[in-house]
Amino acid sequence: MQIRTDVKRAFTDILAADNWVAAFPKMVVFLMLFSAWKVLWNVHITGQQTDGLVSMVLNGFVECLPFLIFAYYAGIKQIRILQTLSLRSRKDLLTGLNNRQTFLENAKARIHEERRGVLLLIDADFFKQVNDTYGHAIGDNCIEAIGHRLHWNLSENDVGGRMGGEEFAILLHGMTTSQAICVAGRIGMPISFSSGVATSDLSITLSIGLVDTRETGNLDDLLIMADDALYDAKRAGRAKLAQWSGGSSEVIRDLCASGPIDRNERRKLVA
């Protein structure tokens, strides 16, 4: 009865393992024990003699080898599926940026590490008109182009994410406000994207709200401040950069008038 219980527990552990490669040694031991038990049972029932315990176990292992190979490759495939599902649970598939939940988690961790930094809240201007006029496929092209622009301007220590719809957020880790304004100027330049027609492209502008993380260590409060600044940027005519500071926000730059910032310059800013 005890052996039966141990075998059942081992089999349950194998099935419950999240990583089949990690569980593979357990599978080998289980199958060898099962093979040995089968041979012993045959000896008990039929009186058939065996050449010894080692030979008995090895013979059982050879019998089970095809199943072990199959189980190993099935486990590899399962791991790849789990990795894909994990990626989809953390990333926005259209842009490759973090999804909202992952952004919030990572941004909170960055702020906890170092209070110095700047939060940007970004919204695509008149995005609904793009969807309504050209269709959702072209709208997706627009979102992808925005995602590419953000990726281009993120350093490895920054945190970027798609907050939902046409709204994005970036935490520029370790930056001063003046440095972040330069980066926002590059991000906010008009973005071209495919219209679905080879001879013409469309363009969209961005409105950005900016707040220094030294205003408060609470990410939720920072998002509210950045959102207020973003609202003022849109109210001022869109394609504007507005900064929250000292309890109020003001528009500080017309993004359509911003000159280009070379990517090498971006690297200097974060050095």
Q: Hey, what long-range contacts does 174-177 have (CB within 8 A, 24 or more apart)?
A: 174/114, 174/116, 174/117, 174/270, 175/116, 175/117, 175/118, 175/269, 175/270, 176/116, 176/118, 176/212, 177/118, 177/210, 177/212, 177/243, 177/245
The count of C-alpha atoms lying within 13 angstroms of the C-alpha of 159, restricted to the half-sphere facing its C-beta, is: 22
Tokens 């008109």 identify what position? 129
The amino acid present at 50, given as its one-letter code, is T
What residue has token string 């330049």? 189
Q: State the catalytic residue, choosing from 166, 167, 215, 250.
A: 166
Structure tokens at 133: 């006029």
Euclidean distance between CA atoms 250 and 159, whole angstroms? 24
Q: Can 166 be counted among the known catalytic residues?
A: yes
- Asked if residue 210 lies in contact with residue 229, where contact means CB atoms within 8 angstroms, the answer is yes
56 contacts: CB under 8 Å, gap ≥ 6: 35, 36, 39, 40, 50
Q: Which of 255, 257, 232, 256 is nearest to 244 (CA)?
A: 232
Catalytic annotation, residues: 166
